[in-house]
Structure 1
Amino acid sequence: MQLYALGLNHHTAPLAIRERVAFQPERLDQALHDLTQGSAVREAAILSTCNRTELYFAAEQPQHAADWLADFHRLPLTEVAPYLYSHPERDAIRHVFRVASGLDSMVIGEPQILGQVKDAVRRAEQAGTMGTLLHKLFQSTFAVAKEVRSTTAIGANTVSMAAAAVNLTERIFGQVSDQHVLFIGAGEMVELCAAHFAGANPKSMTVANRTEERALAVAGRFGADTMRIDRIGEMLPRFDVVVSCTASPLPIVGLGMAERAVKARRHRPMVMVDLAVPRDIEPEIAGLDDVFLYTVDDLAQVVDAGMESRQQAVIEAEGIIDTRVDGFLHWMQVRDAVPTIRALRQHAEGVREAEVERALRLLARGDDPQQVLEALSHGLTNKLMHGPTRFLNQSEGEQHVEAGRIVQRLFNLPSHH
């Protein structure tokens, strides 16, 4: 059983492909159960964010997972395959360590991804698709991410997607303090965006969400208003900035809705930031003269990642990860050796019991105890040395030389040159 990571991300696939293989939260449990049905995949977790869809799983071979991913989303494998990467064992371990540490993110060092990985693990645990191997992998992953975050400057000066949204708005309007901002959704990303926008003191902030309770919770933190999501069409002209990130499978803001809003605003500009995958805002809206529409891929171009100042931190983080990968692989190798160790001990115990039983019979018969002890020690020695001796005698040529080295190492014998 081997570990694998299979998926695609913002490095390998455009947004149009990423949104087609994104997993809706309400379908994640079903997906995990489907993936682990039968014997091909034993353990699995699915990480699906705006920038990546990845399967982490234990299996004999990884091919089944790619077929399953395409089938689940009702896509021909040929459409998805050019964008997929498949990492076996060492590369899979290194990949998940890098992802959770923020080294594989659009914004190097951003902290949100660790929470997203933890959510993915929690969902897999609830679905019952986590086994010993993945449990250990993710325990190690979280420990590595914590070490990287606490011992390097990887998070210094990080500008998140949320901060980039404010940055874009300031580019168009000069300042946010005169603008009315609408947030569609009430998840973690919207909450982060609201926090960043609140720092810029906009004229008003409004949260629209399907669940009123969740909208009130987010709005309450930032002194924002709330609105029913079905009123977006009529209220849209009031807002200068729209930030959307929901789990809706269909767009919430359509082209016709945006055209009516622009007309009602008498062509005053609007900034729309779509952080959702699949998209919440129809891409055709970007063609309107007075709307500045940005997707997650566009944000990458305006994010001030501060790469130069953090280059040393990245090098340090990669060093930590390489060391921890070696440690995890060692744990896996030791784990694989456990059945052999157990069998070896059982064999030795069997030999010991047989020799002791024979010695006790001889003592009961009245034989000399010293001779019985001599026979016992010789019997143990001969039987325990039988296997290694036969291994040496049966090997030939180069194999004989290698067999000699193995036995020397096994019993810590002096080498003879």
Structure 2
Amino acid sequence: MQLLTIGINHHTAPVALRERVAFPLEQIKPALALFKEAWTGGKRTLSAPEAAILSTCNRTELYCATDAQASRDSAVEWLSHYHGIRAEELAPHVYTLPQSEAVRHAFRVASGLDSMVLGETQIVGQMKTAVRTATEAGALGTYLNQLFQRTFAVAKEVRSSTEIGAQSVSMAAAAVRLAQRIFDKIANQRVLFIGAGEMIELCAAHFAAQQPRELVVANRTAERGRYVAERFGGKSIPLSELPARMHEFDIIVSCTASTLPIIGLGAVERAVKARRHRPIFMVDLAVPRDIEAEVGQLEDVFLYTVDDLGTIVREGNASRQAAVAQAETIIETRVANFMQWLDSRSIVPVIRHMHTQADALRRTELDRARKMLARGDDPSAVLEALSQALTNKLIHGPTHALNTSSGESRDSLIELMSGFYRHGQPARGGEAPTQQASVQASNSDESSDASGSSDR
């Protein structure tokens, strides 16, 4: 089985490109169906890949597992075609991670090591949403399910065993710090939050701690907006009132799931004019962006995106390098464990085939023996013939391989067969395993997959 992860993130691409390849949640299921169809070319004879899409403000990643050699070019071509971006424009920003690199990357992402905010926990919830969506779309199978279950276990281990999340500077805290560079006291300012999701709640909590003059939440869903506003002693307004009231606010923080900007250049120009050029501090945490980029060129407007806030966030990362080293050690151990499991999966079909063939031989010889007994042959002679026939047929394959091999291949087979039949002794414990026990052993991986258990 071939694992492959392709994607772009805040390390490889600016927000202007990341927003173009972002997947709104409602588009992920149909996108997964299209990806599987594109991979097989619509042919039922080809096995469709397992796949999952993770799309956040900092990254868009496609995880897949296929029977065939995973093709980077095919995946990049599909991603560029889906979003209407030229492949040559997208390709320089895309990272491709096969096999163990894909596993390591998933573990690091969930542990907060690849985030703009080192050690942040929000990404785990986002990954779980991606897995749940892929499962509902019928795109997740044994391999990716096992990968993500272990990913979540590793993230939990890293957070419980290290100080990776201690004293982390969140995006919300960074927004407050930037605002304090513009205004002497946030307590004298009116703050508007657009949206009512998790990120807005975090930002509202940080700004509320500064006791602003007024705190207002504008949201498309009135009930949700009212809930968030009341949590922090603020008020809520309909999103439709935003154009007429924007000039009232000194600080505007926006993070919605809109696929198009909800604050245009013209609206901000009118707000600045109504404010008589008193400055407006604006933070756009959405990807795709909520605020048109041209707004940042206006005088008296200080506009910051998630990438701008990342600079402040990274200032606090150096103090947590010891925790990072600990986390990386844990991850390397768990990557090795997963790859060992992946390797073991490759022999399961071989073992099943061996059991099928051996059972077919057993049934043939058993039928022959029964016929001999039915016609009155001596039972001892029948048992002798049965044992000899089974022995000859079972060792025919290995004997033929030895007789037709040569050189290093022959030497390797001799060493391997010697291990099988050394001194003519049965399996460990002095007793040969039954076929039922052998089948149970070969199927142990299947039961592990079904339960979603980790290696720990």
Give the TM-score taking structure 2 as reference length: 0.85
Partner in structure 2 of residue 185 of structure 1: 195
Q: Distance in 1 between matches of 2:149 and 2:323?
A: 23
Partner in structure 2 of residue 347 of structure 1: 357
Q: Distance in 1 between matches of 2:173 and 2:36?
A: 39
Q: How far apart are 1:114 and its partner, in Å?
A: 0.8
Q: How far apart are 1:122 and its partner, in Å?
A: 1.8
Q: Distance in 2 between matches of 1:35 and 1:359?
A: 55
Query: Do 1:108 and 1:305's aligned partners in 2 also have CA atoms closer than 8 Å?
Result: no
- The amino acid that maps onto 2:79 is L
- The amino acid that maps onto 2:362 is R
Query: Do 1:249 and 1:278's aligned partners in 2 also have CA atoms closer than 8 Å?
Result: yes
User: Is 349-358 or 274-283 further displaced after alignment?
Assistant: 349-358
Q: How far apart are 1:297 and its partner, in Å?
A: 0.7
1:360/1:73 CA distance change after superposition, 3 Å: same
Give matches, 1:142-221, under 5 Å. Answer: 142-221=152-231
Q: Distance in 1 between matches of 2:338 and 2:366?
A: 41
1:413/1:23 CA distance change after superposition, 3 Å: farther
Q: Distance in 2 between matches of 1:28 and 1:321?
A: 28
Partner of 2:97: helix, strand, or coil?
strand
Partner in structure 2 of residue 56 of structure 1: 63
Q: Which residues of structure 1 form unaligned runs of 5+? A: none
Alignment pair present for 1:80 and 2:90:
yes
Partner in structure 1 of residue 261 of structure 2: 251
Q: How far apart are 1:6 and its partner, in Å?
A: 1.0
Partner in structure 1 of residue 147 of structure 2: 137
1:255-292 deviation line (CA, Å, top 9, x unaligned): 22222222222332221111111111122222223222
Q: Distance in 2 between matches of 1:272 and 1:206?
A: 14
Q: Distance in 2 between matches of 1:390 and 1:309?
A: 64
Q: How far apart are 1:367 and its partner, in Å?
A: 4.5
Query: Do 2:7 and 2:60's aligned partners in 1 also have CA atoms closer than 8 Å?
Result: yes
Partner in structure 2 of residue 15 of structure 1: 15
- The amino acid that maps onto 1:235 is R
1:175/1:411 CA distance change after superposition, 3 Å: farther
Q: Distance in 1 between matches of 2:422 and 2:265?
A: 76
Q: Distance in 2 between matches of 1:409 and 1:324?
A: 31
Q: How far apart are 1:382 and its partner, in Å?
A: 2.2
Alignment pair present for 1:282 and 2:289:
no
Partner in structure 2 of residue 390 of structure 1: 400
Partner of 1:3: helix, strand, or coil?
strand
Query: Do 2:22 and 2:287's aligned partners in 1 also have CA atoms closer than 8 Å?
Result: yes
1:214/1:410 CA distance change after superposition, 3 Å: farther
User: Is 58-67 or 343-352 further displaced after alignment?
Assistant: 58-67
Partner in structure 2 of residue 297 of structure 1: 307
- The amino acid that maps onto 2:24 is Q
Q: How far apart are 1:311 and its partner, in Å?
A: 1.4
Alignment pair present for 1:117 and 2:124:
no
Partner of 1:86: helix, strand, or coil?
strand
Q: Distance in 1 between matches of 2:415 and 2:316?
A: 53
Partner in structure 2 of residue 241 of structure 1: 251
Partner in structure 1 of residue 37 of structure 2: 37
Q: Distance in 1 between matches of 2:338 and 2:301?
A: 50
Q: Distance in 2 between matches of 1:402 and 1:213?
A: 72
Q: How far apart are 1:109 and its partner, in Å?
A: 0.8
User: Is 129-138 or 236-245 further displaced after alignment?
Assistant: 129-138
Selected match of 2:270 from 260, 267, 270? 260
User: Is 194-203 or 304-313 further displaced after alignment?
Assistant: 304-313
1:128/1:165 CA distance change after superposition, 3 Å: same
Query: Do 2:190 and 2:212's aligned partners in 1 also have CA atoms closer than 8 Å?
Result: yes
Partner of 2:37: helix, strand, or coil?
coil
- The amino acid that maps onto 2:412 is E
Partner in structure 1 of residue 26 of structure 2: 26
Partner of 2:6: helix, strand, or coil?
strand
Give matches, 1:296-335, under 5 Å. Answer: 296-303=306-313, 306-335=316-345
1:336-394 deviation line (CA, Å, top 9, x unaligned): 32221111011222222333333444444554444444433333322222211221221
1:409/1:313 CA distance change after superposition, 3 Å: farther
Q: How far apart are 1:323 and its partner, in Å?
A: 1.9
1:232/1:301 CA distance change after superposition, 3 Å: same
RMSD over equivalenced CA pairs, Å = 2.1
Q: Distance in 2 between matches of 1:214 and 1:31?
A: 29
- The amino acid that maps onto 2:13 is A
Q: Distance in 2 between matches of 1:381 and 1:320?
A: 48
Q: Which residues of structure 2 form unaligned runs of 5+? A: 42-47, 425-456
Q: How far apart are 1:23 and its partner, in Å?
A: 1.5
Query: Do 1:107 and 1:305's aligned partners in 2 also have CA atoms closer than 8 Å?
Result: no
User: Is 6-15 or 117-126 further displaced after alignment?
Assistant: 117-126
Query: Do 1:184 and 1:207's aligned partners in 2 also have CA atoms closer than 8 Å?
Result: yes
